Structure 1
Amino acid sequence: MPRFDYKQALEELKTYRLTNERRSETVAALGACLIRGNYTSKLGDEGIGDNWSRDIYARTSTYLFFFFLYHVVWPLYEQICIAALDVDDQELANVCIDHLQKRFGESSLRFRRLLGLRHEAAGRLDEAQAVYDSILQEDETNMVSTDKKKRDHAININLCTIIIKLAAKRQIALLKARNKDQEVVEALTKYLDTFYDDFEAWLELCDVYLNKYMYEQAAFCCEELILLQPTNHIIYLKYAEILYTLQQYTLALKHYCKVLELCTDHVRALYGLHLCASKLLKDNEVQHAGNLHALAVERLLDIYQKQPQDQRKLVESYLSSIE
């Protein structure tokens, strides 16, 4: 049996933190070996303040604090704890939480977030909600004393913002798990008022609106998503389909074309183009509708040329039925 190389394990875990990779099964397995083999005692605690590695963060001169963590033991415990919760290793997670609680106590926002995650993993959603509510109610401007330097204050505020952002997302996830759609909409709207550039949050809000058949609001979310990621063809496709549902065929046609510009021969976009063009064939004000219709048919038939004959005939029959 090969000897466990704890230094290599630490380097691997550090890499995952730097690259923000979850890798829960690997992290939990390595973490269990490190903790049960007492290798964590070899790591230092130097420079760790109330917000974990604040002084180290100051020396690195970077805003990527949360992922740019060095070989100190506390971020490692945090990383292992989250992975253990992901793989349902409650025993390992509890060991990490116990160590962190002894060191930092429940005044630490990061520690309280872990408590919330543990409650979630155990199905105690009310307790988790209470923890996240307490985090979001924190006044981040009071997190440092007035005699601190401005740089330390800015660092501390940045850390609080990260934790508050993560807690807000977990709070939204809890509301979604309870099927409280209206509260999810309100929470996401409030969240996006603060974190406007969060792509995933806009996408989540869009999906919530779609589930409620609120297509105009979903279309607005897609417009915001396009502003954030103007080269993402999936968002243009989503927007085009919403516009088609709203019977805005001309605008939907343009966005299906944009999808095909970004991703040649995208089959779903070609079907959308075919449907829109079919709707607009009799509208003389829409230029090139006939050409686009013919192009969609041509490309779809060419794509299915290598498929089995019965599938080709089915596609041909479908395309000819929509004129």
Structure 2
Amino acid sequence: MVAAQTQSTKALLARLRELRLHASRQPEEVVGIGLELERRGTLSKASDEMWDAVEQVAIAATETGQTHLAKTLIASLSSHFSSSTPHRSTYLSGVLKEAEGDLAGAREHYETAIREDETDVASRKRLIALHLSSPIHTLPDAGASSYKALSSSIPASQQPYLAASLSRQKGIHILVHYLDTYYADLAAWLSLASAYASLALYPQALSALAHALVLAPNDPWVALKYAETAYTAGDVHTAWKEFCRVVEMSTEEGDATPLQGAARRAAMGAKLCLPRLRASSSPSDPLLAPAKLDALDLVFSRLLLDAYSKTEGAVGAGVVRKWIGGAVEA
């Protein structure tokens, strides 16, 4: 990569624009460009594109710990957008607090912003993320009423984990409320499913993933997540059907390319289902007849053997071949 100092201002702005258009997060590169543009005084010039670049550099600065640069740029954004579109800069002030390690202050900042304007989606999303992912030592203090109500009978060694659970539950509550308004946010449904799963609430996780499947019916990774969650929840029949569907949607007849990505994981998941299906299959279900299961077992074994025999340096390839065993000779 050519050093930012040796490039023209036009070239540097073009590179930032290229990264934005491709949604490519390269925070170190963006900050390097931003520092050079700031040194040249370019970022202080008023234009729509320039403010896009300022916001881009400010976010990258918080991600890389360049808090001094972030403060300067966020102050400029706040001054410029305070009357027209305050949401664009309000949440960044909270992100800066996060970068400085003041997570409690960031939560308070986001909560205040939402109280003042319920349409501030950016602040709401950051508040959700804080509750769902904050480290244990930064979770809500033990003075909260909800904590006191549940902690009296919990051993002291387990109380930090209780606090973690309470924080995730609050994040889930905010996220559910958000999805009542913004139903089409696929990423939010996936986050909700992961949050439920982290609390071992697998039926609720499957319900959230069902909404994700509605929004992305042809995405094999969403279907795979649904299948894996169903398997973890003990719903082997549902998991089996979804694993098979992922393999089917990811492969075509006559395709010379071995199983990859979601399809490979789904084939493994399907094979994990087979012993339990054989033990509990209903004679009235033709799809679970022993002969049908044996035939599909053979298909998945051959697909996996073919995939790992053609993938050089595959991690665990030998283990997979041993796991499949001698059931199939390639």
Q: Distance in 2 between matches of 1:231 and 1:100?
A: 39
Aligned residue in 1 for 2:147: none
Is the 1:226–1:236 contact (alpha carbons within 8 Å) kept by the matching residues of 2? Answer: yes
Aligned residue in 2 for 1:286: 285
Given the alignment of the two structures, is residue 87 of structure 1 paired with residue 84 of structure 2, yes or no?
A: no
Higher relative contact order (CA 8 A, sep 6+): 1
Aligned residue in 1 for 2:126: 170
Q: Distance in 1 between matches of 2:233 and 2:86?
A: 48
Aligned residue in 1 for 2:184: 197
Q: Distance in 1 between matches of 2:129 and 2:31?
A: 23
Q: Which amino acid is 1:129 matched to? A: R
Aligned residue in 2 for 1:181: 168
Q: Which amino acid is 1:186 matched to? A: H
Is the 1:85–1:118 contact (alpha carbons within 8 Å) kept by the matching residues of 2? Answer: yes
Q: CA RMSD in A?
A: 2.9
The correspondence of residues 24-43 of structure 1 with structure 2, limited to 5 A, is 24-41=27-44, 43=45
Structure 1 portions without partners, runs of 5+? 46-69, 141-160
Give the C-alpha shift of residue 211 in structure 1: 1.4
Is the 1:305–1:312 contact (alpha carbons within 8 Å) kept by the matching residues of 2? Answer: no
Given the alignment of the two structures, is residue 8 of structure 1 paired with residue 7 of structure 2, yes or no?
A: no
Q: Distance in 1 between matches of 2:266 and 2:236?
A: 14
Structure 2 portions without partners, runs of 5+? 140-163, 252-258, 287-291
Aligned residue in 2 for 1:314: 322
CA gap 1:96/1:317 in 2 versus in 1, 3 angstroms: same
Deviates more, 1:167-176 or 1:19-28: 19-28
Q: Distance in 1 between matches of 2:21 and 2:248?
A: 35
Is the 1:273–1:292 contact (alpha carbons within 8 Å) kept by the matching residues of 2? Answer: no
Q: Distance in 2 between matches of 1:254 and 1:102?
A: 55
Q: Which amino acid is 1:108 matched to? A: P
Is the 1:277–1:292 contact (alpha carbons within 8 Å) kept by the matching residues of 2? Answer: no
Give the C-alpha shift of residue 101 in structure 1: 4.4
Given the alignment of the two structures, is residue 122 of structure 1 paired with residue 100 of structure 2, yes or no?
A: yes
Give the C-alpha shift of residue 267 in structure 1: 2.8
CA gap 1:259/1:93 in 2 versus in 1, 3 angstroms: same
Is the 2:213–2:223 contact (alpha carbons within 8 Å) kept by the matching residues of 1? Answer: yes
Give the C-alpha shift of residue 83 in structure 1: 1.4
Deviates more, 1:20-29 or 1:213-222: 20-29
Given the alignment of the two structures, is residue 269 of structure 1 paired with residue 266 of structure 2, yes or no?
A: yes
Q: Distance in 2 between matches of 1:18 and 1:302?
A: 38
Identity of aligned residues (%): 31
TM norm structure 1: 0.74
Paired residue secondary structure (2:116):
coil
Is the 1:28–1:80 contact (alpha carbons within 8 Å) kept by the matching residues of 2? Answer: yes
The correspondence of residues 14-25 of structure 1 with structure 2, limited to 5 A, is 14-25=17-28
CA deviations on 1:154-203 (whole Å, 9 max, x unpaired) are xxxxxxx5xx2211110011112133111121111111111111111111
Is the 2:206–2:226 contact (alpha carbons within 8 Å) kept by the matching residues of 1? Answer: yes
CA deviations on 1:24-56 (whole Å, 9 max, x unpaired) are 222211111111112335x335xxxxxxxxxxx
CA deviations on 1:99-152 (whole Å, 9 max, x unpaired) are 334545599332222211111100111221122112212347xxxxxxxxxxxx
Paired positions, count: 272
CA gap 1:76/1:227 in 2 versus in 1, 3 angstroms: same
